[in-house]
Amino acid sequence: MAARASRTRPLHLCRGFRSPPWPAAHWTKPGLSHLIKRTTAPLIYRRFQSGHGTPGGTGGGNDYQLGPCQEVQPQPNTQSWGESGRYEEEDSRSYNNQRHDWRQTAYRMIESAATTGTSLAILGYYKHVVLEKINNAFEPGDPVLELAAAGRGSTSVVPGGTEKEWIVRPEQDKIDKVVAGEASGHYYLLLGEKGCGKTSMILDAMQKVDGLGIAMMECHADLEIFRIRLGKALDFEFHEDYIGSLFSIRGPRDTTALLDIERAFNKLEKVALRRKRRTGQPLVLIFNSMHLIRDDEDGLDLIELLQQRAEAWAATGLCTVLFCSDDYIVYEKLKHYASRMELITVQDLPKEMAISALRRYRAKHHADQDMEGDLEKIYQLVGGRLSYLSRVAQASNMEAKANEIIENEERWLLTNCGLLGEGQDDDVNEYSKFASAAMVLCRALVAMEDEVEGGTYNEDRGWKLPQIPLHIAREIMTRADFIHRYDHLNLFTIDSKANVRADSVPMALAMRKVCKDPRFNQLLEDSLERIGDVESLGRTREITLKDLWESGKYEFTMRNAKGYTDKVITFTATPAEKPDEDEDPSDKK
C-alpha cells in the first residue's frame, strides 16, 4: 500500500478550488475520478502557501494537494503561471464582471419600465374616475333640492308646497328655460332685492327637471370656502394630481384657491364636452349670492375668472352659467366685459299678485280669519315683498306683525346711520360722514314723494316708490363710494337701470317716519356743520412766533422758481402803549 501510494502523483488544484457538496465518487472529471477510485486510503485536501511572493517561493499563490492522509505534505509549487496565464485570468474576470453588469442594468430597466407603466395606468384610471364623479354630479337628484325639501318637510321646494299655493311670477318661464338648458348661447345675471323670490324660482325650475344637468352652489367671501363649496357641487376634491407625486408633480395644496378653481373648471369642461356629444344639451352651473364676494383684489380676480369661463362656455354652448345677486355692484363688475350676458330683473310683486299670494299663505296658516279689506291694508304696510308677505301671513295678528316689520327697519336704519349732532367726537368723523350722507339721501327721497305721479300709493296700481338716478344721488350725498355700502346693508337699492330708491316699502315708511321727526332737520344740520368744522380743523395749520419782545423780528423771504427773491416780509414786535399816569383810567372808554 505504501509503494502504491508513493507511485501516485500528487494532484495540484488551482487556487480558488472548493470541494463539491456531493461524494468524491460522483465527480465526473475523468482524471480525478480515476485517481480517487484507485486510492483506498482516506483522501483529504489541504490548503497551504506555496511560497509565491515569499522568499524562495516559485509557485503562484495558494495550492492544494490531494493524496493519502499519511502522506499529505505541503509541496513546493513549481508551476509558473507566466504573463499569458495572468492575462487570461484577468480577461475571464473582466468578461464575467461585464456580463454581470449588463444583467443588472437590464433588470433595472425592466423594473423601471414596469413601475412607470403601472403608475401611468393607475393615474389614467384615477383621472377617469374623477371625470365620472363630476359627471355623476349632474345626474338627476341634486343635493340642493333634497336640502330644500327637507327644510320644508315636504317633497316640494317652493314655499307653499303645492302649485295652488305657489305664485307664478312673469320671470318664471324665462328661468325655467335657462335652468332646463333650453336657452344656450348666453349666460345670465338674476338681479333683485333680498327676499323677492329669486332662489325660490331657481329651486322651482330645478325641481321641474329633477336637477338633471344642473349644479348649484352658494358663494362666499372667503376663496378657500368658495373652493370647497365648488368642489362639493361638482363632486370634485381637488386631488386628481396627488398621485402624480410619482412623477415629481407638485401636491394639490401647493397652489392657491384660484388655481384650484381653474383646475376644477378644466375638468368640468371635459365632462361638458362628453355630455354635449351624447345629449346635445349644455350643463347648467348656478352661482347664488354673488353679492357676498368682497370688493377687493381677490374678489375681482374671482369674478373675472367666473366671467371668462361663462363667456367661453356660452360661445361654445357647453355650459350655461346663471349668476344670482342682491346688489347692483355685481352687475357693475360684470358689465365691463359682458358680451353674451343677459340680465333678468326681479322686483316686488304688483298689488294684485301680492294680495293673491297673501290670501293663499293666510289660508294655509289661518283660514277664514280675515276679510279682503284687511289684506289690502297689510299690503299698504309691507308692499309686495314675498319674504314680508310670508312672515305676516304666519302671524296671528297680521297688522301688528306688519308694524313690527316697519319698526325693525327703522331701528336698522338708525343703527347703521344714526346722526350724532354737534357734540360728536373727532374720532367718529368717518362714521358721521357715512350717516349724514345716508340721511341727506333719505330726506331727498321723502321730499320727492309729492312729485310722484298719482302719489306713492294708488289703489289701482299699488306702491310706486320715488327714485333718483345714481349720478344724481351721488351729487346729493357729495360722495360716490357710500351708495354701494348702503345697497349691501339693504337701506337703499339700485335697480338695473341705475335708479336709487328705498330698499322696500317698510324701509320707505321707516325713512318717512325718521325724516318727519321734529329734531331731524336740526340734528342733520348740526352734524353737517360739525363735519365741516372737523375737516377745516384738519386742513388748518397754526404757526406760533416767539422771541419777538424787545424789538425782536422775523424775516420771510419769498423766491420764485428760478431762485430770485420776490419779496421779503418782516415781522417786528411793537411795544405796547402804556397809559398816561396823569390820565384817569375811568375817563378812558
Per-residue pLDDT, 557: 81
Helix (H) or strand (E) holding 565: strand 565-572
Tens digits of per-residue pLDDT, 322-331? 999 999 999 9
What pLDDT sits at residue 470? 95
H or E, element range at 37: helix 30-38
Segment 559-582, tens digit of pLDDT: 887 778 878 777 666 665 655 555
Question: What is 235-297 written as a DSSP string?
Answer: T--S-TTGGGGGGTPPPGGGS-HHHHHHHHHHHHHHHHHHHHHHH---EEEEEE-GGGS-SSH
Greater pLDDT, 80 or 453: 453
Separation in Å, CA 153 to CA 144, 150, 564: 14, 5, 88
Q: Average pLDDT in the 91-104 region?
A: 71
| Spatial contact of 264 and 231, defined as CB atoms under 8 Å apart | yes
Highest mean pLDDT among 38-52, 69-83, 195-209: 195-209
* Residues forming CATH 3.40.50.300 domain(s) in the chain: 130-347
Provide the pairing of β-strand 468-469 with 499-502: antiparallel
- Residue 129: what pLDDT? 83
pLDDT at 47: 42
Average pLDDT, integer, range 217-224: 94
Give pLDDT tens digits for 280-322.
899 999 999 999 999 999 999 999 999 999 999 999 999 999 9
The lowest-confidence range among 34-38, 192-196, 334-338, 570-574 is 34-38
Which of these ranges, 113-122, 361-370, 522-531, 575-584, has the smallest mean pLDDT? 575-584
**61 contacts 50 by C-beta, under 8 angstroms:** yes
- CA angle 231/232/237 to nearest 5° reads 45
Q: Which of 137, 118, 152, 392 is nearest to 283 (CA)?
A: 137
pLDDT tens digit sequence for 332-369: 999 989 999 999 999 999 999 999 888 888 888 777 66
pLDDT of residue 179: 94
Task: Between 531 and 148, name the one with better pLDDT.
Answer: 531
- Phi, psi of 453, rounded to the nearest 5 degrees: -65, 125
CATH number for domain 130-347, candidates 3.40.50.300, 3.40.50.2300, 3.40.50.9100, 3.30.70.930? 3.40.50.300
pLDDT in tens, 456-498: 898 888 999 999 999 999 999 999 999 999 999 999 999 999 9
pLDDT given at position 227: 93
Long-range contacts for 299-308 (Cβ within 8 Å, ≥24 apart)?
A: 299/221, 300/333, 301/258, 302/223, 302/226, 302/258, 302/261, 303/330, 303/333, 303/334, 304/337, 305/258, 305/261, 305/262, 307/334, 307/337, 307/338
Question: How far is CA 239 from its chain centroid?
Answer: 16
pLDDT band for 149, please (50, 70, 90 cuts). confident
Length of the chain: 589
Residue 197 scores a pLDDT above 50 = yes
Q: How confident is the model at residue 46 (pLDDT cuts 50, 70, 90)?
A: very low
Q: Per-residue pLDDT for 229 more than 90? A: yes
Q: Cell for 192?
A: 333683485
CA distance 388 to 397: 14
Q: Which residue in the block uniquely carries the three cell numbers 430770485?
A: 564
Which residue type, as a one-letter code, is found at position 269?
A: E
DSSP-assigned letter for residue 586:
G
DSSP per-residue letters across 491-517: SEEE-TT-EEEESSHHHHHHHHHHHTS
| Cβ–Cβ under 8 Å, residues 288 and 324 | yes
Q: Report the distance separating Cα 317 and Cα 337, nearest Å.
A: 19
C-alpha cell at 102: 449588463
Mean pLDDT of the chain: 79
Least confident of 75-89, 144-158, 341-355: 75-89
pTM over 0.75: no
Q: Quick one: 43 exposed, middle or buried, by C-beta within 10 A (0-12, 13-18, 19+)?
A: middle
DSSP string, 336-368: TS-SSEEEEEE-PPPHHHHHHHHHHHHHHHSTT
Percent of the chain with pLDDT over 90: 44
Please give the pLDDT value at position 506: 95
